[in-house]
C-alpha cells in the first residue's frame, strides 16, 4: 500500500507541507520513493504564463543533448532551477547529476497556432525527449507543460525532500499532489512513480487495478500518442480522465460513470439513465476492478477524489476556506490543517466524487445517483 496527500490553497505552499503529511502516514507506505506534482505555481514561475516548464533528471551528457535538441527546434530558456546535489546521496537515494526545472519561450513560428495544436506539440516533445532518454539512459522527463512541475525520486520521502532542499521558495505552489512509495509491482522505474501526467491532467492512486490490460489495450488503440508508457497499472486512471475530458467532452462527474458504472437496475431509475447506458456500453473496457482511491488535478485547477465501487482504500477530505487537503488518512489531514472544523470532514464512499474548485471555498460532493450536468 502507498499513501497519498494533496492540498489546494489560495496561498502558495511549500512541498514540505505535503511531505510532512506523508511522513505522519509513514506506517502506511514503505518509504521506497516519492512523487510530487506542483501546479498553480508561486514564486518566479507565476510571471511565466504560458511558458512550458520541463521537469526531469539528467546526466551531464544528457543535459547537453537536451540543450542541443531544444535549440534546434527553436525553444529558448526563459527561467531555470537546477537542483545540484552533493556527490554522495543519502542511503537509498540514487546518485544523479542534475534535477532540472526549466521554463522555455515558445518558438516564434508557434504564435499562429491554436491552443489545441500547441498542447499537442508540447506533449509530442515530451514523448520524444522521453524516448531519447531511454535510448541513452541519460535523461528522465516527467512533464513539459505550463504551470506544472514534477519531481520524483527513489528513497524515503522525507530523506529525498531534505536532500533536494524542497523547502526552497522557488517550489511553492497552490496545488500539490504527493505520493509516498515507489511502484513495487514492476521493476523500479521512475516512470512508474505516481503522480502521472498528460496535458494538464495529473492523478495518483492508492490501490491495484486488475483490469489494467484491457484498459491499456483500449486506450492504446485510440490513435492518441500520449496513451503510452504504462509502467504502472495506475497510469490508466490519468489517461481515462484525459479521455473523458478531451475525447468525450465530458466533465468530472461523468468520470465515475466510466470507471465504475452503476448497475443496470440503478440506471433504469437514473434521470440520465438512457445516456449512461450508452456510455457504459461504449466505454465498458475502461471499467476498473480492484481497490483504488484516486486523487487528481485538472487543467482548470480543480482537484478531486474518487473511490472504487467497494471503497476498499482509505480517503478523507477536509479543510477550511482557502485551504483544503485530500488525504489517505485523517492523521495526515490533522497534521497540516489542525484548526479546521473536523465535523465537516468527508470520507467519499463508492458513489461519490469530491471536487474542490480553484476558488478553494468549499467541497463539492457529486453522487452517481445525482442528475448529471448538461453536456458541454
29 lies in the same domain as 161: yes
CA distances in angstroms from 21 to 29, 34, 65, 143, 327, listed in the order given: 12, 12, 37, 24, 8
Tell me if 183 is assigned to some domain: yes
| DSSP codes, 80-149 | EEEEE--SSPPTTS---SEEEEEEEEPPGGGTTS-HHHHHHHHHHHHHHHHHHHHHHT-EEEEEEEETEE
Residue 374 lies in a domain: no
Do 169 and 91 lie in one domain? The reply is no
195 and 128 both lie in a single domain: no
Write down which residue in 100, 124, 146 finishes a domain. 146
Q: What is the pLDDT of residue 184?
A: 53
The answer to whether position 373 is within a domain reads no
Q: Considering its fold, how many domains does the chain have in total?
A: 2
pLDDT score of 108: 95
Domain stops at, among 146, 161, 186: 146
> Mean pLDDT over residues 221-237, rounded?
95
Report the alpha-carbon distance of residue 330 to residue 315 in Å, rounded: 8
What is the pLDDT confidence band of residue 242, given thresholds at 50, 70 and 90?
A: very high
| 315 and 299 assigned to the same domain | yes
In a domain, 290, yes or no: yes
Q: From CA 167, how far away is CA 17, in angstroms rounded?
A: 9
Whichever domain contains 61, its CATH number is 3.30.70
- Higher pLDDT, residue 66 or 183: 66
* 99 lies in the same domain as 214: no
- pLDDT per residue as tens digits for the range 81-123: 989 888 899 998 999 999 999 999 999 999 999 999 999 999 9
The single-letter DSSP state of residue 331 is: H
Are residues 252 and 262 located together in one domain of the fold? yes
pLDDT value, residue 32:
78
pLDDT at 31: 57
190: DSSP letter: G
User: In this structure, is residue 172 part of a structural domain?
Assistant: yes
The pLDDT, as a whole number, for residue 87 is 85
Q: Residues 54, 42: one domain?
A: no
Per-residue pLDDT at 96 = 95
- C-alpha–C-alpha distance, residues 237 and 259, integer Å: 9
Same domain, 126 and 259: no
Dihedrals φ, ψ of 164, to 5°? -90, -5
Judgement on whether residues 251 and 189 belong to the same structural domain of the protein: yes
Tens digit of each residue's pLDDT (9 = 90 or more) over 121-159:
999 999 999 999 999 999 999 999 999 999 999 999 999
pLDDT value, residue 183 = 52
Q: How many CA atoms lie within 13 A of 34 on its CB side?
A: 30
In terms of pLDDT, which residue wins out, 178 or 207?
178
Structural domain contains residue 375: no
Answer with the one of 146, 178, 193 that is the final residue of a domain: 146
- pLDDT > 70? residue 1: no
Pairing of strands 33-41, 303-307: unpaired
Are 103 and 237 within one domain? no
Checking if the pLDDT of 29 tops 60, the result is no
- Same domain, residue pair 181 and 297: yes
- Residues 247-304 pLDDT 10s: 999 999 999 999 999 999 999 999 999 999 999 999 999 999 989 999 999 999 999 9
pLDDT band at 374 (very low <50, low <70, confident <90, very high): confident
Average pLDDT, the chain: 94
What is the domain range of residue 34?
3-48+147-367
- When pLDDT is averaged across residues 46-69 and rounded to a whole number, the result is 96
pLDDT, residue 317, reads 98
Residues 255 and 346 in one domain: yes
Whether 200 is covered by a domain: the verdict is yes
* pLDDT per position as a tens digit, 329-343: 999 999 999 999 999
Residue 372 placed within a domain: no
Task: For residue 248, give the CATH number of its domain.
Answer: 3.60.20.10
Q: What is the pTM of this model?
A: 0.96
Amino acid at each position: 500500500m502507498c499513501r497519498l496527500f494533496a492540498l489546494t490553497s489560495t496561498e502558495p505552499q511549500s512541498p514540505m507541507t505535503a511531505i510532512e503529511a506523508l511522513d505522519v502516514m509513514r506506517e502506511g507506505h514503505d518509504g521506497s520513493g516519492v512523487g510530487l506534482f506542483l501546479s498553480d505555481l508561486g514564486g518566479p514561475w507565476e510571471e511565466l504564463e504560458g511558458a512550458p516548464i520541463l521537469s526531469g533528471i539528467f546526466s551531464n551528457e544528457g543535459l547537453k543533448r537536451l540543450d542541443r535538441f531544444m535549440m534546434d527546434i527553436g525553444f529558448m530558456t526563459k527561467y531555470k532551477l537546477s537542483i545540484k546535489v552533493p556527490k554522495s546521496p543519502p542511503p537509498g537515494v540514487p546518485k544523479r547529476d542534475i534535477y532540472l526545472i526549466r521554463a522555455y519561450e515558445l518558438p516564434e513560428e508557434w504564435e499562429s497556432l491554436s491552443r489545441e495544436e500547441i498542447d499537442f506539440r508540447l506533449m509530442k516533445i515530451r514523448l520524444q525527449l522521453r524516448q531519447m532518454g531511454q535510448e541513452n539512459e541519460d535523461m528522465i522527463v516527467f512533464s513539459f507543460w505550463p504551470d506544472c512541475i514534477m519531481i520524483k525520486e527513489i528513497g524515503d520521502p522525507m530523506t529525498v525532500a531534505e536532500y533536494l532542499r524542497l523547502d526552497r521558495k522557488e517550489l511553492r505552489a497552490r496545488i500539490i499532489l504527493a505520493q509516498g512509495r515507489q511502484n513495487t509491482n514492476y521493476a523500479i522505474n521512475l516512470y512508474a512513480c505516481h503522480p502521472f501526467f498528460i496535458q494538464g491532467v495529473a492523478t495518483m492512486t492508492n490501490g491495484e487495478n486488475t483490469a489494467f490490460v484491457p484498459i491499456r489495450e483500449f486506450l492504446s488503440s485510440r490513435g492518441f500518442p500520449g496513451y503510452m508508457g504504462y509502467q504502472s497499472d495506475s497510469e490508466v486512471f490519468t489517461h481515462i480522465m484525459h479521455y473523458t475530458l478531451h475525447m468525450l467532452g465530458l466533465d468530472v462527474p461523468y468520470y465515475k460513470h466510466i470507471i465504475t458504472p452503476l448497475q443496470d437496475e440503478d440506471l433504469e431509475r437514473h434521470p440520465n439513465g438512457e445516456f449512461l447506458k450508452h456510455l457504459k456500453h461504449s466505454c465498458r473496457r475502461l471499467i476498473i476492478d480492484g481497490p483504488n482511491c484516486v486523487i487528481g488535478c485538472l487543467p482548470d485547477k480543480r482537484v478531486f477524489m474518487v473511490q472504487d465501487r467497494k471503497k476498499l482504500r482509505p480517503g478523507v477530505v477536509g479543510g477550511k476556506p482557502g485551504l483544503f487537503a485530500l488525504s489517505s488518512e485523517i492523521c495526515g489531514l490533522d497534521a497540516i490543517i489542525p484548526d479546521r472544523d473536523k465535523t465537516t470532514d468527508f470520507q467519499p464512499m463508492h458513489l461519490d466524487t469530491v471536487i474542490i474548485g480553484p476558488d478553494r471555498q468549499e467541497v463539492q460532493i457529486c453522487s452517481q445517483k445525482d442528475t448529471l450536468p448538461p453536456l458541454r
